[in-house]
């Protein structure tokens, strides 16, 4: 793979930021500016819609869609981000699988702290089921905090007695609000995007005083994953949240869950966003798409 590609992305993510904690508005604007540089495939179409009680962005192939549905949760620490900032990810997944995606515009902290995002995600999943979708044709996917939301929503759905989706795909998921992973320290400085302090700043807004020692907030260390669907966890070696994925994979295996831990060397947090400019991103999304097409049962596959 290209060292030059990785070096350019590392330099982009290391661009100087203002000293000290930023306002919520500044954090949101900065993230939107960064993600607006990502490449979105031109073989998709999008439209705004609603799902459950929240707006959502429906993303579809522009030709020959298949029957599966990806319920996508964007990243941003539960504080920033939107379906638009995740469009490089949802767009490439849709283009590579032929499935449609609903990217949920869930409520954000600090205006709406935990558990608002989980409530919105569960409501969206209920809406799909109530609309007649078969859970075997639905997958949860998400990046960063949205990757954590895939697991938390699955836990909430199981607790509510709902059937679980066919699969979970999580890109660099945040799965431990206790922040006890060793890589928070061992990858400090290696990670070009996150520091412990930056994570603590956004986490405080999302938690709003809630105890992080509970399964919905720290599933990598506390959740009972019994009965979970197959999971694909993708992360890079250059990120402080790496241990969130490695510990979740170990916990899933111990619970008898099919899990693939897919670690790529020398790439940063949610490197898949750089599809089209980073070879490793394209290859990782190819693997994610293959996993989804293997796990999600489309109407055609069901009939066969």
Indicate which residues carry an active-site annotation. 144, 239, 269
Mention every residue, 6+ apart, whose C-beta is less than 8 A from residue 185.
Answer: 196
3-class secondary structure per residue, the chain: CCHHHHHHHHHHHCCCCCCCCCCHHHHHHHHHHHHCCCCCCCCEEEEEEEECCEEEEEEEECCCCCCCEEEEECCCCCCCCCCCCCHHHHHHHHHHHCCEEEEECCCCCCCCCCCHHHHHHHHHHHHHHHCCCCHHHEEEEEECHHHHHHHHHHHHHHHCCCCCCCEEEEECCCCCCCCCCCHHHHCCCCCCCCCHHHHHHHHHHHHCCCCCCCCCCCHHHHCCCCCCCCEEEEEECCCCCHHHHHHHHHHHHHCCCCEEEEEECCCCCCHHHHCCCCHHHHHHHHHHHHHHHHHCCCHHHHHC
Q: How many residues in the chain? A: 304
Q: Which two tokens stand for residue 3?
A: 């060292």
């Amino acid at each position: 793979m290209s060292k030059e590609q990785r070096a350019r992305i590392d330099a982009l993510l290391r661009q100087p930021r203002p000293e000290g904690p930023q306002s919520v508005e500044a954090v949101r604007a900065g993230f939107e500016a960064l993600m607006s540089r990502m490449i979105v495939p031109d073989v998709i179409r999008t439209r705004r819609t609603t799902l459950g009680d929240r707006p959502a962005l429906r993303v579809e192939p522009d030709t020959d869609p298949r029957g599966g549905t990806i319920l996508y949760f964007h990243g941003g620490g539960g504080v920033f981000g939107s379906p638009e900032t995740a469009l490089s990810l949802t767009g490439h997944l849709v283009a590579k699988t032929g499935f449609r995606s609903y990217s949920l515009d869930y409520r954000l902290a600090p205006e709406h702290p935990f558990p608002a995002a989980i409530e919105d995600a569960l409501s969206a999943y209920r809406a799909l089921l109530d609309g007649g979708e078969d859970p075997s044709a639905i997958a949860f996917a998400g990046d960063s905090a949205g990757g954590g939301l895939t697991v938390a929503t699955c836990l909430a759905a199981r607790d509510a007695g709902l059937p679980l989706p066919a699969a979970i795909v999580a890109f660099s998921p945040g799965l431990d609000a206790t922040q006890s992973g060793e890589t928070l320290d061992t990858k400090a400085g290696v990670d070009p995007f996150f520091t412990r302090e930056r994570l603590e700043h956004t986490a405080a807004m999302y938690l709003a005083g809630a105890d992080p020692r509970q399964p919905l907030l720290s599933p990598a260390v506390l959740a009972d994953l019994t009965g979970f669907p197959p999971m694909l966890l993708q992360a890079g070696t250059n990120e402080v949240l790496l241990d969130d994925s490695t510990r979740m994979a170990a916990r899933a295996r111990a619970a008898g869950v099919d899990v693939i831990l897919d670690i790529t060397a020398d790439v940063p947090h949610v490197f898949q966003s750089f599809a089209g400019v980073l070879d490793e991103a394209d290859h990782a999304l190819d693997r994610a798409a293959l996993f989804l097409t293997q796990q999600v049962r489309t109407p055609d596959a069901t009939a066969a």
